[in-house]
Structure 1
C-alpha cells in the first residue's frame, strides 16, 4: 500500500470511531434523561416554613385532647390522633407544660425543623410549627443556645405587647423602630387596657428590645430578664 492509501484508510477508521462514539453518547443521554425527570418529580421542594393552626382548631381536631385519642407518650409530650377540618388524619404532639415553662420549648425547634425537611419513609413531615429563632440561627446552624432562647422570649414579649403574631421574622423588623422611636401608641395592642402609668409597659418594651436587638453576646440572661419582669409585676 502507498502512503496515501494508508492515510485515507486511517481517516475513514477515525471518522467511523468518532461517529460510533457520538452515537453511544447520544443513546446514553437519551436513556438517562427520563430518569432525571422522574427524580425531580419524585422529590418535592422542601419548605423552610410550616403552617400555624389556631389552638381552637387543634382542640376540635383532638376532641379537646381526649385521652381516647392518645396514640403515644414520651418524655417530651403526648401524641394525639387528630382529624383536621378537611378530613386529613394527622398526629398532634402536645408538649408537657413543664417543658414549655422551663425552656419555652425553643430547643425543640432545631429537631422539629430538620424533621420537617426530612425525606425518609420512617419520618413523618411536620405540618405545623411555631418558631422564634434568629435568622443567624438557621444561617450558621450552630444549634440551640441560651442566647437563642432569650431572643425567642423577646419575640414573645413583642407579641404580647402588640397583639400580633410573629411570622417569618417580620415582628422584630416591624417593632424595633417603634420602640427605639418611643412610638408606643403604634406598638401597643389597641385592645389593651392601658394603665394610668405606662412606664411599666415602656420598660417591658425595652426589655424586649434588649432581647432581640442586641448581638448574641450582649443579650441579657434569662435570669436578668426574669428579675426585671418580677419588679414590673410588683410595681404595676
Structure 2
C-alpha cells in the first residue's frame, strides 16, 4: 500500500513538472513570436527605426527556476555553444539561454549592474538583430535569454573560410556578400537608432542563415547581428560607442570584399591606398568570388569599398553614421537584385556614384589612416 502511494505521488510530481515545463516553453515561444510579428508589421522593418529606446517595452525577468526547467537544470545535453563568458543552452523553441560561467559570477563581472545593463539592451525586434528578450538571475547565476540562431545559421568567419570546417562551406558570390553587408549594416543602424552600441562588431558575431541548400545555399540568406551591448558590464568598461562600431563594421566590410583577415589593421594598410587611388578592383577577392562580371558590377563593388574607406580611414568625428552606411549598402544590394537573371544593359551604365557622395567629406587624404586594432582583437563572448 505504501509503495502504491509513493508511486502515485511520484507520478503526480513528474506530471506536474512536465506540465509546468511545457507551459513555460509555450509562454516564452509566444513572447518571442509576438515580438517577431510586431517587427514584421513595423514600417521600419527594413531600415533603422527613428526615435529612441523610450518606446521599447522593458525586458521581462524570468524566474530562474523556470529557466532551469526549460534547460533541464542546465544539463550538458542542452548546450549548443560555448564562449569566453557564457555557455549557451537550448531553452524554449526559438530561444537560447546564455548562462554566465559560475566562476565569473563569483568574480562579480558587472555586479549590481547586471539587471540594469541587460535591460538597457531592449530594442524593438528587427530581422537583422538576434534580440535579447529576457533575463534571469539568482544566487550564483546570471542568465540572458536571446533569440536562438535558426538551424543552418553559420557565422561569417566560417563562411569566409577561417573556421576548422571551412572546406564544407560554399564560397560567397559578390551578390551574396553585398546582401550580407547590407543586412549587417541595417541591424547595426537599428541598434544605434535605439541608443545601443554593439561593442563587438566582428565576423564571428555576424550570423548568416541559409534559406536553401545545394549550390544556391546562400542566395537568399539573411543576416543577423548577435552578442550586442555586452562589452560594458562584462569587461568593466563603459566606453562602447557608436563611432567605434562604425570603424569595426568598416573592418568587417573590408574582410568581406577582400576575403582577407583584418590582421591587426594590416589589411587596411594594404587595401585603403588602392581604394583611395581609384583602384578598388585590386583588392577584391577574385579568387573565391570571381572577377566582376562587367563595369556595372565593378562600380557597385567600388561603392562598397569607398564605404569601407569612410568607416575605417577616419577618426571618430569624421566617420559616417550607420544610417548613411546602411542606405548606401542597401542600394548596392537592391542593384544586385535588379541584376538577377540578366546583366545590366549598356543603356543603364552611368558614372553616378549614388549616395556615397554624402561621404566625400569624410574621406581622408593618404597618410591619415587610423587603426584601432585593439578593439577588434578583444576576445569574443
TM-score by length of 1: 0.46
TM-score by length of 2: 0.30
- Rg: which structure is higher? 1
